[in-house]
Amino acid sequence: MLKKIIAIAILVVFVAISTASADQCINCHKAVTPGIVADYERSKMAENGVTCLDCHGEIEGHKDPSVKEHNGFRITPVPSPKYCERCHPQQVQEFLNSKHAWTALIGPFKPWYNKMVEEGKIKAGEAPSEDVMKENDPYKDIASRVTPLYPASGIMDKIGLLEEMKGYGSILYCMECHGTAVIVDENGNIVKGWPNSGIGRLNPDGTPGSCTACHTRHKFSIEEARSPETCGQCHLGPDHPQMEIYEESKHGNIFFSFENKSFLKAEKLTPENTPAPTCAVCHMSEFNGVKSTHDVGERLYWELQPKISTAQWYPSNLVPTGEAKPDEEKAKENRERMKQVCRGCHSPRWVDNYFTEFDAVVEDYNKIARSAKALLDKIYEEGLANKSNPIDEYPELSWYYIWHHDGRRWRMGAAMQGPDYAHWHGLFEAVGDKYLKLLNWYETAKRIKSLETQIGKEETKRSPFIGLPLLIAAIVIALTLKIKMRK
């Protein structure tokens, strides 16, 4: 009996303390950050009694160097997905299975990550701990890298400004989308990499990713997350223009022509209440019998971004080290899920025929890409370009454009009904512009080289006679000018 009374008394005190806590945050923050409190009060979670402390409060037994004393509480300013996991385990697990969570490591921090793995400081497939990030500054590493992923650094090297360009690697470029590495000092104050809501952010507690990338705090709204603009923040521009493609597609057209988009607020999206699919409908939402997912790869057959397209790579956390492998079986299941989404609004034949055409485009792209790569290899073999710096010569830059810009637009335009991107910004630019110029460059360079060899021979044979070398030099200059004009 006594035990029971004590237990109840403890519970009452606990509840009193916890509500008092929540009220304390709100009361004070109404004055300090009124915008945050207003958003929070409009959120579904506030409606359901989730408090500031539920997300910001220290998790028992979980090491997080960003947790610090704050007006009598122990809180973190950067609740990682780990802080959401207690209540949303499924969403967090799916998100961690996706490339979204790992994209800081797949993107800007890849060379640094691979170096850390090589040196045994991180196990392949694990996110770096705060200690590793603090002891091996990932930002410093980026500024000195020369890889095709950092075209600027290859070019900067050639210009001779690589050392001076310390700003490259700044958090305002790649990391705005891919995510920063968040570094804290010994007092738990964040000194670098925050604010940032890049989707694969490396958090101080060693959990990768940022839910805030699509659910901005403190509304954490699904309406916002379902809007194409949310994805379009990162999915746009010359190398992955999904937003522009969507805008020119019939689906985007229908979506943007509706003034009332309140269907995005629906508890569940269905073929009946959805006039046109948004990015989320095709890639994430529960729809037409397909379960909802926070793994955006779960409905994709192809990898449309690499040099050569293959079936989707698995697992995502091994993409940074190159150990992930295409998985045909899984990719086929993904395709079936995507088709089932389409079939909510289209007939099966419409859907099958569409994907037959799309797959053929990807295969055609692959043929062109292999052929262009073979030409680059021939250029290297014949000594017309130097492999040492992978992206500082004309043929190398052409190849980069062919796969990384034009080739992506070409494939993605075909995937999502953007014919202008599939053809004019894609196929045409890749083949009609970059490939053709590369071929012309090769032929010209070969002729110049053979003329140079001939000059060399002539000179040793009859050096007093300068008429022929002069003539050849004139041809060389004329050819060089011609290349310039073509560029």
Give the footprint of ligand HEC on residues 294-323 (CB under 6 A): 294, 296-297, 300-306, 319
Q: Of residues 363-402, which lie at the interface with ligand HEC (CB under 6 A)?
A: none
Complex with ligand HEC: residue 87 or 436, whichever CB lies closer: 87
Give me 399's structure tokens: 């190849």
Give me 197's structure tokens: 């809501």
Minimum distance from residue 459 beta carbon to ligand HEC (Å)? 46
Stretch that binds ligand HEC, among 75-83, 389-397, 435-443, 479-487 (CB under 6 A): 75-83
Minimum distance from residue 171 beta carbon to ligand HEC (Å)? 11
Q: Of residues 412-451, which lie at the interface with ligand HEC (CB under 6 A)?
A: 412, 415-417
Q: How many residues bind ligand HEC (CB under 6 A)?
A: 120
Mark residues 26-45: x for contact with ligand HEC by CB under 6 A, - for none: x-xx--xx--xx--x---xx
Residue from 64, 67, 108, 441 binding ligand HEC (CB under 6 A): 108
Q: Please, where are the H alpha helices in 160-260?
A: 174-178, 222-226, 228-232, 242-248, 250-257
Query: Is 184 a binder of ligand HEC (CB under 6 A)?
Result: no
Residue from 112, 139, 220, 421 binding ligand HEC (CB under 6 A): 220
d(CA 44, CA 296): 24
Query: Is 89 a binder of ligand HEC (CB under 6 A)?
Result: no
For tokens 């729809």, name the residue.
287
Complex with ligand HEC: residue 290 or 384, whichever CB lies closer: 290
Minimum distance from residue 206 beta carbon to ligand HEC (Å)? 15
Stretch that binds ligand HEC, among 9-17, 66-74, 127-135, 437-445 (CB under 6 A): 66-74
Minimum distance from residue 449 beta carbon to ligand HEC (Å)? 34
d(CA 200, CA 304): 19
Work out the number of other CB atoms within 10 angstroms of the CB of residue 17. Answer: 10
Residue from 292, 310, 321, 366 binding ligand HEC (CB under 6 A): 292
Q: Please, where are the H alpha helices in 191-260?
A: 222-226, 228-232, 242-248, 250-257
Task: Determine contact, residues 300/313, Cβ cutoff 8 Å.
Answer: no
Stretch that binds ligand HEC, among 171-179, 430-438, 446-454, 473-481 (CB under 6 A): 171-179
Q: Of residues 232-291, which lie at the interface with ligand HEC (CB under 6 A)?
A: 232-235, 237, 240, 242-243, 246, 250-251, 254, 269, 271, 274, 276-286
CA 372 to chain centre: 25
Minimum distance from residue 269 beta carbon to ligand HEC (Å)? 5
Residue 255: HSE in the Cβ half-sphere, 13 Å Cα cutoff = 21
What residues contact 435, with CB distance under 8 A and at least 6 apart?
368, 371, 372, 398, 402
Residue from 133, 177, 369, 384 binding ligand HEC (CB under 6 A): 177
What residues contact 307, with CB distance under 8 A and at least 6 apart?
369, 373, 403, 407
Residue from 111, 154, 193, 198 binding ligand HEC (CB under 6 A): 198
Complex with ligand HEC: residue 171 or 431, whichever CB lies closer: 171
Residue from 67, 84, 156, 422 binding ligand HEC (CB under 6 A): 84
- Single-letter code of the amino acid located at 312: Q
Give me 331's structure tokens: 């990719």
Query: Is 52 a binder of ligand HEC (CB under 6 A)?
Result: yes
Nearest to 173 by CA among 155, 158, 152, 148: 152
d(CA 14, CA 50): 16
Query: Is 75 a binder of ligand HEC (CB under 6 A)?
Result: yes
**Cα 44 to Cα 49, 134, 162, distances in angstroms:** 9, 37, 49
d(CA 288, CA 389): 50
CA 278 to chain centre: 19
Stretch that binds ligand HEC, among 333-341, 384-392, 428-436, 445-453 (CB under 6 A): 333-341
Query: Is 354 a binder of ligand HEC (CB under 6 A)?
Result: yes
Complex with ligand HEC: residue 403 or 441, whichever CB lies closer: 403
Torsion angle of the four alpha carbons 113, 115, 118, 121, in this order, in degrees rounded to the nearest 10: -60
**Cα 115 to Cα 50, 128, 238, 319, distances in angstroms:** 41, 12, 29, 15
Minimum distance from residue 353 beta carbon to ligand HEC (Å)? 9
Minimum distance from residue 209 beta carbon to ligand HEC (Å)? 6
Q: Please, where are the H alpha helices in 343-435?
A: 348-381, 394-400, 407-415, 419-422
